[in-house]
Amino acid sequence: MSLASEVAESSQHSGGAAARGSREPVNVLIVGVGGQGVIMVSKVLASLCQAHGLQVKQSEVHGMAKRGGSVFSHVRFGKQVWSPTIPKGDVDILLALEWAEGLRWLPQLRAETGIFICDTKRIVPPFACLNRRQGAPMRYSRETPAEVIAHVAEAYAVDATRMADELGNERAANTVLVGALSTAMEFPLADWERVLAEFVPRKTVGVNLEAFRLGRSWIEEARRTAPDTSDPQGQGLAAAVVPSTVRVEIEAQWCKSCDICVKLCPERCLRLNSERIAELTDPAKCTGCRLCEWLCPDFAIRVHLQPAAAVA
């Protein structure tokens, strides 16, 4: 290069929009929770594409990866790849290592042709368990595999974690999913297995290759038969509970200001008032767990649960 390189129009972008169709890159979005192996799976795919002489860009944001947050990795490959990130709605294959993370990225999938491969494994964040009141649901995604399959062009809800567990290594769940992913692409089987063996820990090559083949055969089977929409991990998240109202009765004369209830209240809604007598600061916060009632050495506290229906 000598001067500011002025690239002639014919040499670089001769095709223009018309020829773009055939040159368009394949877009794979791999998602999961920090620590699951999203980056490992992307590296396997990127390495495979590279070995086939394709241009690859693999882009991830992993600043919070180890902190149990949402992790995603864009893998784009083809003759020419520009943007490191996949344009919204252009994801050809969405591979999810966790159920709710799969759902989170679903709107990015190509509406007509997108393929969704998702582990049904649920990793419930502590954030989903903040509402401790009676009958409160866990704040985890509510959509069932059946619902998702009904809305997506091609969707597979794979119980990959259980399958890997049965092979003797739960951590090979990723590889079950890579096996499923491999059926959506045209790379030779031997190449997949070679790259996979390079990236997994040496001791686990055997179980990972087994897991890979299991994922492949599972998805081939799923294509032939009706999808299995049972949701073994989704059981028991909701239960029929009639919420009660909570009333805390504190016998002021019996309280000796020992502070035990105040220090041990999980909702931190008790305090000692100006007379150093225990009192409830915020009745709305009390869940009626009875710790104060049970721990009070002087039996000064009674917790009453009354069915809400009776009150209303």
Q: Least distance in Å: CB of 30 to other proteins?
A: 13
Q: What are phi and psi of 90, to 5 degrees?
A: -110, 15
Closer residue to other proteins, CB minimum distance, 20 or 223: 20
Nearer to other proteins, 183 or 270 (CB): 270
- In the complex, the smallest distance separating the C-beta of residue 216 from other proteins, rounded to whole angstroms, is 25
Q: Is the dihedral of CA 121, 127, 133, 137 positive or negative?
A: negative
Enumerate the β-bridge partners of residue 94: 29, 116
Quote the CA–CA distance of 211 and 166 in Å, as a whole number: 10
149: its two tokens: 């399959």
CB of 52 to other proteins, least distance (A): 12
- Hey, what amino acid is at 122? R
Name residues whose C-beta falls within 8 Å of residue 112's C-beta, 6 or more positions apart in sequence: 153
Q: Is 2 exposed, middle or buried (0-12, 13-18, 19+ CB in 10 A)?
A: exposed
Nearer to other proteins by C-beta: 179 or 288? 288
| Amino acid making up residue 213 | R
φ, ψ for residue 226, nearest 5 deg = -65, 145
CB of 204 to other proteins, least distance (A): 16
Residue 201 C-beta: closest distance to other proteins, Å: 12
Q: How far is it, in rounded angstroms, from Cα 119 to Cα 207?
A: 18
Please, which residue, 56 or 157, has the CB nearer to other proteins?
56
Please say which residue, 91 or 181, places its beta carbon nearer to other proteins. 91
Write out the two tokens for 190.
């031997």
Alpha carbon distance 162, 172 (integer Å): 10
* CA–CA distances in Å: residue 38 to residues 44, 73, 233, 262: 10, 7, 21, 44
Minimum CB distance to other proteins smaller for 213 or for 237: 237
**Paired tokens of 27:** 């877009």
Residue 136: enclosing H or E segment and its boundaries? none
Structure token pair of residue 248: 């805390």
**Min CB(255)–other proteins separation in Å:** 19
Helix (H) or strand (E) holding 280: strand 278-280
Give whichever of 133 and 302 is closer to other proteins, judged by the CB atom.
Answer: 133
Nearer to other proteins, 226 or 239 (CB): 239
